[in-house]
Chain A
Amino acid sequence: MTERRTMIWVMRAAFLVFVLGAWELSSGRLASEFFISRPTLIADQFWTWLIRGVIFYHGAITLLEAVAGFFLGGALGMIMGVWLGRAQTTAEVLDPFIMMFYSLPKVALAPLFVLWFGIGIEMKIYLTATIVFFLVFLNTYTGVRAVSRELIAILKLMGANERHVLFKVVLPSAITWVFAGLRLSVPYALIGAIVGELIASNRGLGYLLADSAGQFDTTGVFAALIAIMIMAFFLNSTIKVVEIKAMPWREQSSRREMSI
């Protein structure tokens, strides 16, 4: 098994070397360097930005927007999801409006948010929050609705009141769904922040990207993309760790050998 793992890692490295090598060699031969730049130049640019703190400065802004929007939208989504999941009549009344708003591509709201909140980081936070809100809300709502009614009846026979039912059954059993929504939201939070920056800003990785493109600096564009990729990877890994910590019973069962 470990031998197989080693081989997989070796093959991954080989694949990476092959792709980067092909890119490096074709640049200036098969395609113009102006359009595709080359890995060595990109690495050089990235390194320069890194040691000058450019990446950290802009990355911190983007991270702040994504994380703040993520928490704001996530918290509101969870609260709304739990509330509407328990209040069936209200949920039915609001259903068509929620669905209408849900089907709207949220980035289309960006111009409106610029008008309302200006081009500062608030606008990116609200845009991100709007996107995350719906994902988390719908998942939480589904999770709360999916709680077994028999389980609730069995708890009520034990003398449980509404508060017990909510905290001992509904919320913990919805948490799997909430986390599915949160994990799904991480890339979207980054999308919200970056799109916001692309539309109007003077800071952030999205700005760095747009600014490089505006100067026809392909190398800069690729270097900014790499920074964004690293941030996305970092955010995804973080939520995975948090998820395992918050739901240890799932980790336990996944450690069992596969069986059906």
Chain B
Amino acid sequence: MDALCRICCIPAELLVKVPGLRPVIRMCCTSVGQKVLMALTGLALCGFLVTHLSGNLLLFAGEEAFNAYAEKLHSMGALLKAAEVGLLATFLAHLGLAISTTAMSRRARSKQYAQNESKQEAFAIPNGGASNWMLLTGLGIGAFLVLHLVDLKFQVRPDLVYPSASQDGTNNAYAKVKLVLSSPVSFVAYGVALILLGIHLSHGVRSALQSLGVSHPKWNKLIEIGSMVFAWAIALGFICVLGWVVLNS
């Protein structure tokens, strides 16, 4: 854990030398600053999820609409590449910060209690609610992401036969999605990952807002309910897509 943490510090040590970046890096080296970054990267990834889900909902509109959308997206070329790189960087930053802050907290309690009970109301999720599952659900989602990229970005799943591009060079993205999702391995893995995503977001969104200082007694109930609705709307939205595709293949 310590070694990992030191590796996570390398970018900070290099960046602090870049002119003008000193105050930013100094802020990001504190526990509070890291949580702020964690929140910002997390919310950015939520933004990506929204666009990704809206794209996927086009599957309901049928093969033509979905393929047209995929074609349009891929025709963006350099812009799309830049977005992908940005997304990857955001994801890695989020992961790195998670490791760094977790290491900080592990060190802060070197000796565990023999007995430890919560004083909070009972949680829907065992063992102290979603907030105690952030690292595990996050890593689960990360693992899923690798599979998802292998499946549909690089299209190199060894057990699947991908349809080849048609003569005019267009790809049938719709057929590929159907092909991947109808494999039982993907179905189970995607389903589990989406539930993990729902759990992760159900704490993550609200926690991100709190880390950014968004809290007011008058608005906190709305923030709490809104975050929960957002989290499960995203997760269930994807689950609907998954279910629908599987039922229709």
A binds B: no
Residues of A in contact with B (beta carbons under 8 Å apart): none
Interface residues of B (CB under 8 A from A): none
